[in-house]
Structure 1
Amino acid sequence: MTAQHPERPAIRISDADRERAAQRLHTALSEGRITVSELEERITVVYAARFESDLVPPLADLPQDQAQAPVASTPSGPPVVLRAGMSSLRRSGAWKVPPRLRVLSGVGSVVLDFCDADNPHPVVELELEVGAGSVRLILPDNATADVDGMAAVMGTVRCKVPAGPVPGAPHFVVHGRAGMGSVTVRRRYRFGSRHF
């Protein structure tokens, strides 16, 4: 009698995974690969998906470089939490980027500069809870950022980088809430040879 090994549980996906799959479908529509009615049908499947395997059928007949490649999974595990109550917090230079970050800012200011950071992750997830403070995310030149998951109550959310992921470039998925504060996602400023 042989022992039976339990099957590995299916991997659950995140909202960010669904958004990336939806973006691929919108790209396919703009290229004329699928019709509007097909987009609507497939988007319904994507947003109802719970597991990685659920995202395969709506993307299966699209080109390898666009949709047959596996959807980049949002990092799993608990996030690293950064808190700036009434003070300021800054990360810059060669700091090590975790796959998931949760930033809590009451009335303080937070600056996370990823330009020279050690970031081995293709996708970095940031959850922002901003009261009346400010958060600035400064990204490398080739990076992209999806801020569709941010809700601005009385605050502001500005993103000055492309939203769609690019192969080989880091992608940042930003979600959360800006109460009366501000969230800005941008590249670093260049004046001559100096960077800001």
Structure 2
Amino acid sequence: MRISDADRERVAARLNHALGEGRISVDELQERLSVVYGARFGSDLVPVLSDLPGDPLNLSADVLATPVGPPTVLRGGVGGVKRRGDWVVPARLRVQTSLGAVLLDFCDARLPLPVVEIELELGAGSARLLVPENATADVDGLVSQYGSVRSKLPSRAVHGRPHFRVYGRTAAGSVSVRTRYTFAGRHF
């Protein structure tokens, strides 16, 4: 299966991290990056990661594939954005608010695709993303100027489990990605 630019960028980020840890030299990084940016298929990326710690790549199509098509845009302004219960989650979401809070609860939602891409453009509002128990979430692409980003979920996608790619920026708000918990019959 062909890979996307986002897939190449994730591998490049792993290589840059390996350089920062002293696992590869600058020359090795340059060599490997030329392979990465010339790669067309997931299997082309395995050799550049095979001698680094961890699983080189999970090459299943549902993990590597980046959702395509225009994103569904949710705008909240100062009123915020809330989605919970039974709703169909698009492959790509763009959430924009200036002051309002964002709550996206994916626990009871229908996830037609295994990978959901979420772009956050937040002003001073906060965002809470509640994901199913077995989900993974990569928040490395999220930049916060004066707020915080929290996720205790595994960031590496796992075959057969929902995976959320969260990126974008927040000016002064906080972002939390976690599973939902229940207390006294209520979900939080």
State the TM-score bracket (shorter-chain normalisation). Answer: 0.7 to 0.9
Q: Is 1:37 aligned with 2:24?
A: yes
Q: 1:13 aligns with which of 4, 11, 22?
A: 4
- Within 5 Å, give how 1:75-154 maps onto structure 2: 75-154=67-146
Gaps of 5+ in 1: 1-9, 27-34
Residues 115 and 16 from structure 1, CA distance in 2 versus in 1: closer, same or farther, beyond 3 angstroms?
A: farther
Amino acid at match of 1:129: E
Distance of 2:30 and 2:140 partners within structure 1: 16
Amino acid at match of 1:57: D
**In the alignment, which residue of structure 2 is the partner of 1:171?**
163
Residues 98 and 44 from structure 1, CA distance in 2 versus in 1: closer, same or farther, beyond 3 angstroms?
A: farther
Amino acid at match of 2:57: A
Work out whether residues 13 and 52 of structure 1, in 8 Å CA contact, stay in contact via their aligned partners in 2.
Answer: no
Instruction: List, as ranges, runs of 4+ consecutive aligned residues in structure 1 with deviation greater than 6 Å.
Output: none
Distance of 1:170 and 1:43 partners within structure 2: 33
Amino acid at match of 1:115: C
User: TM-score with structure 1 length normalisation?
Assistant: 0.75
Gaps of 5+ in 2: none
Work out whether residues 8 and 36 of structure 2, in 8 Å CA contact, stay in contact via their aligned partners in 1.
Answer: no
Distance of 2:89 and 2:83 partners within structure 1: 10
User: Per the alignment, in what secondary structure is the counterpart of residue 133 of structure 1?
Assistant: coil
User: Per the alignment, in what secondary structure is the counterpart of residue 24 of structure 2?
Assistant: helix
Distance of 2:37 and 2:3 partners within structure 1: 6
Give aligned-pair identity as a percent: 45
Distance of 2:75 and 2:67 partners within structure 1: 21
**Greater Cα radius of gyration, structure 1 or 2:** 1
Q: Is 1:49 aligned with 2:36?
A: yes
Aligned residues, how many? 178
Residues 47 and 122 from structure 1, CA distance in 2 versus in 1: closer, same or farther, beyond 3 angstroms?
A: farther
Q: Is 1:180 aligned with 2:167?
A: no
Work out whether residues 128 and 176 of structure 1, in 8 Å CA contact, stay in contact via their aligned partners in 2.
Answer: yes
Amino acid at match of 2:24: S
